[in-house]
């Protein structure tokens, strides 16, 4: 028995290392997260029972545990420099000209290497005989702080190098926090009554400087290498920066998949633009691109000026943070009655977009920020999400011209009392569907693209229809008549026809869209899809109970309760009946039995997803494909069997075409799921 435990531990160690390597370095997810977690916990339990058999390089060592009393200083053997900045095309052009001039007239073409500028913090990591022995922050570039134990908690970083490694190697790169982790950590901070981090960079920096490496481990940091410092006894010959990164990647060190070799200067600007336009969709924050001369001999000839290399430059994106004045606060009523304080701002440009509103989330957030009307505030915009107020510039407060923000006690729309239940952060209007604001938001949600997709009616028309009492509920949309519509102010023949046509076209929704459209609290698109793939029919869902629901993926007690509560209400049942009577025919998908491998139609296939999809984001599409048995990887290789290509697909599409990989459109992908666009 004990021998089999020992074998199992050795197997699990190897298997988890292999899965980690595939996930973090090759960007290939071989098994779902929960299965990985199960293996990880099994190994941890065995190691606790048999510490004598624990591998010194066990992947469980990445959960932290050592507590430091303070940080020791580390003197970098080669200083860690910084980069000169460019802010526009002219600056980049100037850089290229200086490179050419410095190299003498004979050279007219230079190979460049372009990388995203990761928004985290620079670290140096030393491997001796393949073993991670020391990690340090950049500090002032000459002396940094020793953070070895914390860096060892980064899951993607090997403690032991693979392949043909040199005797000594110093890897340099950026430690950063993914956006999804940042959101999760901040939620947790708020729940624990602790201050949230202003941005992922601060969160990463704060986490890497934790004295308790257990806390650092909780923060799930990431790392990409962007260069090499010292090395000794190198077993390969390396002539370019790109060759360095390819080499360290073979040793197991993660390198950004967005890096590209660019032979023509003219294509650098296109790389900058392409990277900037994908900025919001990237899983981590970047604040520019870094352009480097690729050839190492040329790099050496170009040398350094003060503390920056002449062979590289950072081309910065416009900042995502800005300072402006809080002019007033309005209180918006959401679909579920949630009252959200919205900051009305002196309009300011943030990352190329003019922002005049930002969210203040809730009462607790206002208290935490200590913000008052008239204050100067910092706002942050990330991706498509609503900008938020992150800090008050208290230093600039003029006590005479600020006033307190008073949270209302009654709904600003229907005057019903606002209620905040104990233990909840959100205050809600108690008016329910008698509140026009809730009715309107419910309608807007119902017609939205990812719900019933009725694109002929925008929010403004819904407001008019409600106000003019043409409709009172969702089901009334299906009884609209052209004659009545034409009586509305500014309604033209064309708009009325378009409206009626798109309403008619929405009568055959996919089951998941219909569930989502109902607007059940806590049921977002992902949960709606889980429900649609589990229940045969809407009636089965209506008749279910909390115990059944809680067995489904990602459905906890609160969500289960909300679902049951929703279908228990008579007026919800009446609404559903009214929709069915009006001609709605729900389209049920073909069921997939995930426990039966014969029913996994994509088993054995390896897919890559590229471009922008309209119905699901890439992560959702990935989940869908994995549920059908496919393996989903990040880059096209020999083993890729199909490429799912959305809009604006770029280099992966070209590669797939080159390799003769079958290309699947979004429409075909949806057809595979039994859904339509
Ligand atoms: S190269 C000689 N490449 O930007 C300079 N730096 O001001 C070596 N950074 O402290 C840096 N992404 O923290 C380089 N792809 C990238 C980078 C990058 C982010 C940071 C790094 C450095 C700062 C330079």
Predicted local confidence at residue 537, as pLDDT: 94
Is there an atom of ligand 1 within 6 Å of 174 CB?
yes
Which range has the top average pLDDT, 27-36, 103-112, 274-283, 294-303? 294-303
Alpha carbon separation from 674 to 131, 217, 533, 671 (Å, rounded): 50, 41, 11, 5
Report the SS3 class of residue 334: coil
Is there an atom of ligand 1 within 6 Å of 83 CB?
yes
Q: Which of 226, 271, 287, 299 to mutate to test the pocket of ligand 1 (most atoms within 8 A of CB)?
A: 226
- Regarding pTM above 0.85, the answer is no
280 is in an annotated binding site: no
Cα of 456 vs its chain's centroid, Å: 31
The CATH code belonging to domain 606-673 is 3.40.50.10190
- The structure tokens listed for 266 are 């003219």
Give CATH 2.40.50.140 domain extents, the chain. 321-419
Give CATH 1.10.150.20 domain extents, the chain. 507-590
pLDDT exceeds cutoff 90 at 196: no
d(CA 231, CA 191): 45
Predicted local confidence at residue 375, as pLDDT: 97
* CA 259–ligand 1 middle distance (angstroms): 13
Give CATH 3.40.50.10190 domain extents, the chain. 606-673
Mean pLDDT of 486-514: 94
Mean pLDDT of 66-71: 59
Predicted local confidence at residue 598, as pLDDT: 61
Collect all residues with Cβ–Cβ distance below 8 Å to 543 and sequence separation of at least 6.
Answer: none
Q: Which residues are catalytic?
A: 117
Written as one string, the DSSP assignment of 448-499 is STTTT--TT--HHHHHHHHHTTS-SSGGGGGG--HHHHHTSTT--HHHHHHH
Write the pLDDT tens digit of every residue in 141-152: 888 899 999 999
d(CA 398, CA 296): 55
Architecture of the domain delimited by 85-316: 2-Layer Sandwich (3.30)
Is there an atom of ligand 1 within 6 Å of 173 CB?
no
Predicted local confidence at residue 62, as pLDDT: 66
Predicted local confidence at residue 268, as pLDDT: 94
Name the CATH code of domain 507-590 (choices 3.40.50.300, 1.10.150.20, 1.10.10.10, 2.60.40.1510). 1.10.150.20
* CA 653–ligand 1 middle distance (angstroms): 29
Predicted local confidence at residue 660, as pLDDT: 84
d(CA 324, CA 301): 46
* CA 79–ligand 1 middle distance (angstroms): 13
- The structure tokens listed for 58 are 């066990």
Write the pLDDT tens digit of every residue in 251-265: 999 999 999 999 988
Is there an atom of ligand 1 within 6 Å of 82 CB?
yes
Is there an atom of ligand 1 within 6 Å of 447 CB?
no
pLDDT exceeds cutoff 90 at 217: no
Write the pLDDT tens digit of every residue in 105-140: 788 889 999 999 999 999 999 999 999 999 999 988
Write the pLDDT tens digit of every residue in 88-99: 889 999 999 999
Q: Are 662 and 636 in contact (CB under 8 A)?
A: no
Q: Half-sphere exposure of 646 toward its Cβ, with a 13 Å CA cutoff?
A: 14
Mean pLDDT of the chain: 89
Which of the pair, 432 or 428, is modelled with greater confidence? 428
DSSP 8-state assignment for residue 394: G
Cα of 669 vs its chain's centroid, Å: 22
Identify the residue whose C-alpha is closest to ligand 1 atom 16.
117
82 is in an annotated binding site: yes
Which of the pair, 638 or 389, is modelled with greater confidence? 389
Mean pLDDT of 467-488: 95
Which range has the top average pLDDT, 34-38, 328-332, 628-632? 328-332
pLDDT exceeds cutoff 90 at 328: yes
The CATH code belonging to domain 2-61 is 1.10.287.610
Q: 638, 639, 636, 641: which is closest to 653 by C-alpha?
A: 636
Predicted local confidence at residue 299, as pLDDT: 96
Handedness of CA 65, 68, 71, 72 (dihedral sign): negative
Mean pLDDT of 31-59: 83
Superfamily of domain covering 321-419: Nucleic acid-binding proteins (2.40.50.140)
């Amino acid at each position: 028995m004990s021998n089999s435990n020992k074998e199992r531990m050795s197997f699990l160690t190897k298997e988890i290392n292999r899965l980690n390597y595939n996930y973090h370095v090759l960007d290939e997810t071989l098994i779902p997260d929960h299965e990985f977690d199960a293996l990880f916990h099994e190994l941890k339990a065995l190691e606790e029972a048999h510490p004598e058999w624990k591998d010194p390089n066990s992947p469980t060592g990445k959960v932290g545990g050592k507590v430091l009393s303070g940080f020791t200083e580390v003197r970098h053997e080669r200083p860690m420099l910084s980069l000169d900045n460019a802010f526009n095309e002219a600056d980049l052009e100037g850089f290229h000209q200086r490179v050419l001039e410095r190299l003498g007239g004979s050279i007219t073409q230079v190979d460049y290497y372009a990388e995203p500028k990761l928004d985290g913090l620079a670290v140096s990591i030393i491997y001796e005989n393949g073993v991670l022995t020391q990690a340090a922050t950049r500090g002032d570039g000459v002396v940094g702080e020793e953070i070895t134990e914390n860096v060892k908690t980064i899951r993607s970083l090997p403690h032991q190098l693979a392949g043909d490694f040199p005797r000594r190697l110093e890897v340099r790169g950026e430690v950063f926090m993914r956006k999804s982790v940042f959101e999760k950590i901040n939620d947790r901070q708020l729940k624990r009554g602790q201050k949230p981090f202003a941005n992922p960079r601060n969160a990463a920096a704060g986490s890497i400087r934790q004295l308790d490496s257990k806390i650092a481990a909780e923060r799930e940091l990431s790392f990409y290498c962007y260069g090499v410092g010292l090395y000794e006894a190198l077993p390969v010959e390396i002539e370019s920066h790109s060759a360095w990164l390819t080499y360290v990647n073979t040793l197991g060190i993660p390198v950004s998949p967005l890096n590209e070799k660019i032979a023509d200067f003219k294509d650098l600007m296109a790389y900058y633009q392409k990277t900037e336009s994908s900025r919001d969709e990237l899983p981590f924050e970047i604040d520019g691109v870094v352009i480097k001369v690729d050839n190492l001999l040329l790099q050496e000839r170009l040398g350094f000026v003060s503390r920056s290399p002449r062979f590289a430059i950072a081309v910065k994106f416009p900042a995502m943070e800005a300072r402006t004045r809080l002019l007033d606060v309005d209180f918006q009523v959401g679909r579920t009655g949630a009252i959200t304080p919205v900051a009305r701002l002196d309009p300011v440009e943030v990352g190329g977009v003019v922002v005049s509103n930002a969210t203040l989330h809730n009462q607790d957030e206002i208290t935490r920020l200590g913000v008052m009307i008239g204050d100067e505030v910092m706002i942050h915009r990330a991706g498509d999400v609503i900008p938020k107020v992150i800090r008050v510039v208290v230093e600039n407060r003029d006590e005479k011209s600020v006033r307190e923000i008073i949270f209302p006690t009654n709904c600003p729309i229907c005057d019903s009392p606002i209620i905040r239940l104990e233990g909840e952060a959100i205050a809600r209007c108690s008016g329910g569907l008698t509140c026009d604001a809730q009715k309107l938001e419910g309608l807007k949600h119902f017609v939205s693209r990812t719900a019933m997709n009725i694109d002929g009616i925008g929010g403004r028309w819904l407001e008019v229809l409600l106000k003019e009492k043409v409709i009172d509920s969702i089901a009334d949309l299906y009884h609209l008549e052209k004659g009545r519509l034409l009586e509305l102010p500014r309604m033209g023949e064309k708009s009325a026809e378009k409206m009626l046509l798109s309403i008619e076209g929405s009568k055959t929704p996919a089951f998941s869209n219909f569930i989502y459209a109902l607007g059940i609290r806590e049921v977002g698109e992902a949960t709606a899809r889980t429900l649609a793939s589990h229940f045969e029919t809407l009636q089965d869902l209506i008749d279910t109970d909390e115990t059944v629901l809680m067995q489904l993926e990602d459905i906890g007690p609160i969500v289960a309760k909300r679902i049951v509560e929703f279908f228990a209400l008579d007026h919800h049942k009446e609404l559903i009946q009214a929709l069915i009577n009006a001609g709605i025919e729900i389209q049920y998908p073909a069921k997939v039995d995930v426990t039966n491998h014969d029913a996994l139609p994509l088993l054995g296939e390896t897919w890559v997803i590229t471009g922008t999809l309209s119905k699901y984001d890439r992560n959702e599409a990935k989940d869908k494909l994995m549920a059908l048995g496919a393996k989903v990887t990040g880059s096209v290789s020999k083993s890729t069997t199909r490429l799912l290509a959305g809009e604006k697909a770029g280099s992966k599409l070209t590669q797939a075409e080159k390799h003769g990989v079958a290309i699947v459109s979004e429409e075909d992908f949806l057809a595979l799921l039994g859904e339509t666009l």
